[in-house]
Amino acid sequence: MSVPIQKVVIVGANLTGFCAAAYVTSQLKGSGLQVEIIDDGSGEYSPIVSTQASVNSVFQSMGLDLRQLMAATDAAFNLGQAYEGWLGAGSWAFNSFTAPPNMAGFFEFQHFWLKSMQSGNVGDYHQYSLAAMAARQGKFAFPSPANPNPLTQLSFGLNFNSAKLMAFMRSLSINAGVKVADGTLQAVESDENGTVSAVLMSTGLKVQGDFFIDCSLLAKSVLDSHFNLSFHSRYETSPVNRTACIVLNNQDEPLLPQTSVRALPNGWLKQCSDQNRTATTFVYNSNQLTDQEVAIGLLQHMVNQDSDEQPPADVVFSELTPGNKVASWVDNCLFIGAGTFQSCQLDYCDFSYVFKALESFVKLFPHNKNSYNSHEYNRWTQADYNQLLDYECLAMSLAANNETEFWISLKKLELSEAMQHQLALFKSHGRLIDQRQALIAKHQWAAMLISRGVIPVRNHPLMSVLDQADGLPELQSQIGSLVAGMPSHRQFLLRFCQQ
């Protein structure tokens, strides 16, 4: 008969590992489950991680108080992603977590916008988004309980100081009884079916477990090798393969509640801020630029932008391999984190998928060492990974620039059939594929496509017979006054975190 899971061993005492430990223990509190985490020294991660709005419910299910969590981790709010320079220098667009207002039930917001555009009196798409306008002006507020205007219901993600988030998750874990063992993993002990029974460490220590979660960020971990798991690269040659990151203090600047991505001639520049620091990451192709060129360019960019001084930070380079493991749960072993899934770091908050994976795992918590639930888990996660990589591929292929080698190569990216279909649907009448379990909401597809200059040739035909006024001018002015009444993001945070 089956052996119930009594002990989970997590490999990797890093951010992913402690999030896993804290989440699993919080969800199985009182079950007698033991968790041990192995510090194999693989502790690399970006200095700031962001999560998307849907992860808030995970924090909630862990019983975390938002204020405490944010205060302890220097977290800032994140209303969505700003796109800078994708339609020429100075251009700006926004992709918000918040769905646009429901205009007339049946038809999606972009159809109303298109209708106004056809009659010639309409502003940019993002002008009708409270989130976008607030983010642009560095403002943020929760809806007022006294005035529950549905328009003020903003969905937000969070931008964390990674080291502090890890410390926070670590102390949650330790308080929940999680043990930490030091040592590099050397080998795996398994039974005759290949099921892992223990891991052996360089210190000679042997850690036994019923289930293993591999959070090591290594391309090929000991557990990987045991199962002979391959990593499937999304591209034969990836259009981007390296990042350079620099972190600076931001206390003297306005704090924008967003992540941003700016198109540059040879790559793109992402920015993401917690309460005190801004991480700037340049994503590029190392066949086109040397590290030195990048470092100089990055520093110059920061200098030009922010001050006359030489920035006091070092540039950290990392490799980038977009793709995913072909399976992420095998036998009694789960693989999560950057070693399991990597995007091209264009959009979206990769770290969210760590929580999404953990959520799915607990939903499908194994009954025994060979739980059939792994099939379902792999089905979910593979579909999610595919969709994310597909989305990103489409977004990259709608290149920002026609002239440089970098963007010309992106334009040539081959789209999956689903993405060709999506593009054709949107181009003709502004329609979107209907997907129920989508990680990326329809309004986010619309915002991304419009931000790339994909403007439908025609509108939904039934819009022309809808006599309802579009209401866009009123919406815009309402948003204007709402934003004017909002405190700055920094002021809001200061008050919120100190209460």
Partner 1 sequence: MENQLIKKIVIVGGGSAGWMTAAALSRYLGTHCEISLVESDQIGIVGVGEATIPGIREFNQKLGIDENDFMRATHATYKLGIEFNDWTQLGDSYMHPFSYFGHDMNGVSFHDYWLKLNQLGDETPISAYSPGYVAAKQNKFIHPNQDPKSVLSRYFYAFHFDATLYGQYLRQVAEKAGVRRIEGKVVAVSLNNAGGIKDVALESGQVIEGELFIDCSGFRGVLIEQALKTGYQDYSRWLPCDSAVAVQTESVAAPTPYTQSNAQAAGWQWRIPLQNRVGNGYVFCQQYLSDDEAIDTLLKHVEGEVLTEPRVLRFNTGRRNQFWNKNCVTVGLSSGFLEPLESTSIHLIQTSIMKLINLFPDQGFNQADIDEYNRQMIEQFEQVKNFLILHYKTTQRSDTPFWAYCKNMEIPEALSYRIELFKKTGQIARCDDEIFVHENWLAVLLGQKLMPEQYHPKVDMIDTAQLKMIMQQMKGVVNQAVAGMPNHQETINRWCKS
SS3 317: strand
Given the structure tokens 């509190």, which residue do they identify? 29
Minimum distance from CB of 341 to partner 1 (Å)?
18
DSSP string over 409-460: HHHTPPPPHHHHHHHHHHHHHS-----TT-SS-HHHHHHHHHHTT---SS--
Q: Does 464 bind partner 1 (CB under 8 A)?
A: yes
Q: Which residues pair with 247 in a beta bridge?
A: 279
Closer to partner 1 by Cβ: residue 67 or 458? 458
Q: Does 364 bind partner 1 (CB under 8 A)?
A: yes
Which residue from 369, 431, 452, 490 is in contact with partner 1, where contact means CB under 8 A? 431
Closer to partner 1 by Cβ: residue 403 or 467? 467
The CA angle 91-95-98, to the nearest 5 degrees, is 145
Which residue from 220, 232, 412, 458 is in contact with partner 1, where contact means CB under 8 A? 458
Closer to partner 1 by Cβ: residue 317 or 372? 372
Closer to partner 1 by Cβ: residue 200 or 466? 466
Q: Does 424 bind partner 1 (CB under 8 A)?
A: yes
In the shown chain, the binding pattern of residues 378 to 417 toward partner 1, with x for contact by CB under 8 A and - for none, equals -xx-------------------------------------
Q: Does 305 bind partner 1 (CB under 8 A)?
A: no
Q: Does 443 bind partner 1 (CB under 8 A)?
A: no
The residue range among 198-206, 269-277, 346-354, 462-470 that interacts with partner 1, by the rule CB under 8 A, is: 462-470
Enter the tokens of residue 340. Answer: 């399991």
Which residue from 365, 455, 473, 488 is in contact with partner 1, where contact means CB under 8 A? 365
Q: CB–CB of 47/460 below 8 Å?
A: no
- R_g over Cα of the chain: 23
In the shown chain, the binding pattern of residues 100 to 139 toward partner 1, with x for contact by CB under 8 A and - for none, equals ------x-----------x---------------------
Q: Does 206 bind partner 1 (CB under 8 A)?
A: no
Polymer length of the chain: 499
The amino acid at residue 243 is T
Q: CB–CB of 33/25 below 8 Å?
A: yes
Q: CB–CB of 84/261 below 8 Å?
A: yes
CB atoms within 10 A of CB 306: 16
Given the structure tokens 């646009």, which residue do they identify? 100
Given the structure tokens 């590290």, which residue do they identify? 291
Give the Cα separation of 261 and 391 in Å (integer). 16
Which residue from 25, 27, 110, 116 is in contact with partner 1, where contact means CB under 8 A? 27
Binding site for partner 1 (CB under 8 A): 2, 4-5, 27-31, 61, 106, 118, 362-367, 371-373, 375-376, 379-380, 421, 424-425, 427-429, 431, 433-437, 458-462, 464-465
